[in-house]
Structure 1
Amino acid sequence: MKSPEEIDPHRVVCQKYRDFPIWGFAVMVIVSFALTFGMSSASPSGISFVGLLVALILSFLMTLAGGFISAVTGFQVRLTSGIQMLGGLMFPGRVFQNIWFTAYGAGSAMQAMSILRDLKFGQYVHLPQYIVVYSQLIGGGVGALATVIVMKAILKNERDVLISAHGNGVFSGAETAASQARAISWGIFSRRLFLFGQKYSAVSWGMVVGIFLPIPFFVAHRFWPRYKFNLFNVPLLLGITTGLYNLASAGEPMRIIIGLMSQFWARKYRTRW
């Protein structure tokens, strides 16, 4: 049990409010599962029950890991590419199954982390949890309905623009085309490109190494806690470095220096912040 001094002061304030009941979250999970498998069966998705279940399990695990990292560091873990590759290995040559697998394996995890972030903001501004959840439900319902209406209107009136190569400056189908291209690449060519021994097998090896890389720091912290090995955040470090190979990186050293100096000053002289 944490002492009163260790509890988030915002949480202490919110403890006087009524939380959203656990059974309410359970009902939402059951309804969401039913809608997911029902819509998958009713539509020509082609994805099996087991494949969809694996996607949801991965989404749950990624939400736990990615949500923790995002809450502690503010860094958003990129999930889509890894889930797409795994879907391509599970459903070789089947593009639509890969799209569904990615939508529920990565998309639902990103939505879950967005919901958690809203709950966190609600606590920071001292709103009762049930009000935040009700607001999310109402906003999600209205937003989904508005999205469908707007999407149908755009597809009906701007179809020629969306299928053109460059759009018209207002509407463009480039993102949809890119998403389809990624689904084709991962769905059809995954085993030819990313299995061990193939041209891009380093990507697969990188995922394997990434899973086990935090373990040495965890073990080292257990034996030598005074060296603070637990503060070495592998996902944050590797996630940031991936942006260096395709971006203009001339300003990166200055960003690192400013970040280190500002954090050192804040933690040393403004610890109460």
Structure 2
Amino acid sequence: MASRWNWMKLSTELFLAGKTILKQFRSSLNDNSDDIHAKLMSRYDEAPDWWYTILFAVAFTLATIVCHFGDLMPWYHMFTAVTIAFVFVLPTGIVQAVTNQSIELSPITELIAGFLMPGKPIANVTFKTYGSITHHQALSLISDLKFGHYMKIPPRAIFVTQLTSTVVAGVVNYVSAVYLMDTVPHICTLENPNWKCPKANVFYSASIIWGAIGPAKILGTRSLYSPLLLGFLAGALLPIPTWLLTKKYPKTKWLKYIHFPIMLSATAIIPPASPGNYPSWLMVGFLFNCILLRCARSWWKRYAYVFSAAMDCGVGFSVLAIFFVFQNNGIYFPRWWGSGGPTGDGCPLSYANFSGIIPTERPMLTS
């Protein structure tokens, strides 16, 4: 589903925003000395290119060594993975900058790795990490640099901050993962529904589907799932009728609101997102971007983004508090339908087998 949605999104943006994207690309090649932000930022020294070059060389060398001596994947495939990220950064970055719609490379890297290294799930996820995650992190860095440009933060300070935070985050993530694996029994298994690890399970499932089994068997002509390939064609063609109608009837305003990638974008995160996530997203989005936007526009313009950041921070602090204060001491939230019921996701069929039969004895959330 994510693959077809990304294909649809790319097709839509090329049709609807193609001229704008091309215009922005051409303007980026010209001198922007008249831009007020560029004038103000000219007071600061730029981070020299050789900083980035040395950082890339060191990181690439270390990654190659780890892949080779860690038996993760053949070291020479690192060149292919990084090349994929390098080639797609510019076009997808322009699309994201103009349309605010990101395009992930996970399906592409998984597919390529499946053909390059069939039957090797670890190699598949390694290739995926160095391909798609490198692409994602590159766009994140560009986004941060853009934010710093508008906030008038010195480029060298941003570079040092990004590098430091990346190292710290890597160490903290590794230590946290080791701690949880050693202290939480049956973590990321069905025997412990309180710790399902949905993203990790999606990563694992992808390694089995694209690595162990391989795309040739999953999507082959004799495969049960071969019709899924038509999704790529549907994703590329579905936005075209809407684009043609907007060209033929430019005065019909409601046509511009028919945007298939946005309508179907939520499906790209299933899994790991569960149906229980969507009602809260819908209510908060409707409240802020419809009711408050119309009834309290001045408040919305001033506080909407600040409040959004505050909610993100609140979620982060709440997660820490809930884990260390409650769950780490064996105290769990009461079971009720609003919190997902006994299974934690509001879906009793999540433990059903292929025939829809739910086992009589299955793990339940601790109350």
For normalisation by structure 2, the TM-score amounts to 0.55
Residue equivalent to 2:76: 50
Which of residues 18, 29, 48 in structure 1 aligns to 2:56?
Answer: 29
Residue equivalent to 1:172: 196
Residue equivalent to 1:100: 126
Does structure 2 conserve the Cα–Cα contact (< 8 Å) formed by 1:193 and 1:200?
A: yes
Does structure 2 conserve the Cα–Cα contact (< 8 Å) formed by 1:63 and 1:112?
A: yes
The superposition leaves residues 63-93 of structure 1 with CA deviations (integer Å, 9 ceiling, x where unpaired) of 2222222222221112212321222122222
Which of residues 166, 180, 190 in structure 2 aligns to 1:154?
Answer: 180
The superposition leaves residues 21-54 of structure 1 with CA deviations (integer Å, 9 ceiling, x where unpaired) of 0111110111111011011112021x22332211
Relative distance call for 1:32 and 1:50 in structure 2 (3 A) is same
Relative distance call for 1:16 and 1:209 in structure 2 (3 A) is farther
Deviation of 1:153 after TM superposition, in Å, equals 1.1
1:64-103 to structure 2, matched below 5 A, reads 64-103=90-129
Deviation of 1:211 after TM superposition, in Å, equals 9.0
1:174-193 to structure 2, matched below 5 A, reads 174-187=198-211, 188-193=213-218
Residue equivalent to 2:247: none
Relative distance call for 1:64 and 1:238 in structure 2 (3 A) is farther
State the secondary structure of the residue aligned to 1:49: coil
Relative distance call for 1:14 and 1:208 in structure 2 (3 A) is farther
Take 1:4 and 1:106, find their aligned partners in 2: how far apart are those partners? 34
CA RMSD of aligned residues (A): 4.0
Take 1:156 and 1:189, find their aligned partners in 2: how far apart are those partners? 32
Q: Which amino acid aligns with 1:179?
A: F
Take 2:237 and 2:89, find their aligned partners in 1: how far apart are those partners? 18
Relative distance call for 1:106 and 1:142 in structure 2 (3 A) is same
Residue equivalent to 1:41: 68
Deviation of 1:131 after TM superposition, in Å, equals 0.5
Deviation of 1:116 after TM superposition, in Å, equals 1.2
Of 34-43 and 65-74, deviating more is 65-74
State the secondary structure of the residue aligned to 1:165: coil
Does structure 1 conserve the Cα–Cα contact (< 8 Å) formed by 2:114 and 2:215?
A: yes
Q: Which amino acid aligns with 2:203?
A: S
Does structure 1 conserve the Cα–Cα contact (< 8 Å) formed by 2:65 and 2:75?
A: no
Does structure 2 conserve the Cα–Cα contact (< 8 Å) formed by 1:66 and 1:77?
A: yes
Q: Which amino acid aligns with 2:216?
A: R
Relative distance call for 1:50 and 1:44 in structure 2 (3 A) is closer
Take 2:149 and 2:229, find their aligned partners in 1: how far apart are those partners? 39
The superposition leaves residues 181-227 of structure 1 with CA deviations (integer Å, 9 ceiling, x where unpaired) of 121011214102324675544555665898999xxxxxxxxxxxxx9
Percent of paired sites with the same residue: 20
Relative distance call for 1:189 and 1:34 in structure 2 (3 A) is closer
Does structure 2 conserve the Cα–Cα contact (< 8 Å) formed by 1:17 and 1:129?
A: yes
Residue equivalent to 2:262: 240
Does structure 1 conserve the Cα–Cα contact (< 8 Å) formed by 2:209 and 2:215?
A: yes
Does structure 1 conserve the Cα–Cα contact (< 8 Å) formed by 2:114 and 2:124?
A: yes
Take 1:127 and 1:16, find their aligned partners in 2: how far apart are those partners? 11
Residue equivalent to 2:219: 194
Does structure 2 conserve the Cα–Cα contact (< 8 Å) formed by 1:166 and 1:174?
A: no
Of 198-207 and 141-150, deviating more is 198-207
Relative distance call for 1:212 and 1:239 in structure 2 (3 A) is closer
Q: Give 5+ residue unaligned stretches, structure 2.
A: 1-29, 239-249, 251-258, 294-367
For normalisation by structure 1, the TM-score amounts to 0.72
Deviation of 1:12 after TM superposition, in Å, equals 2.5
Higher relative contact order (CA 8 A, sep 6+): 2
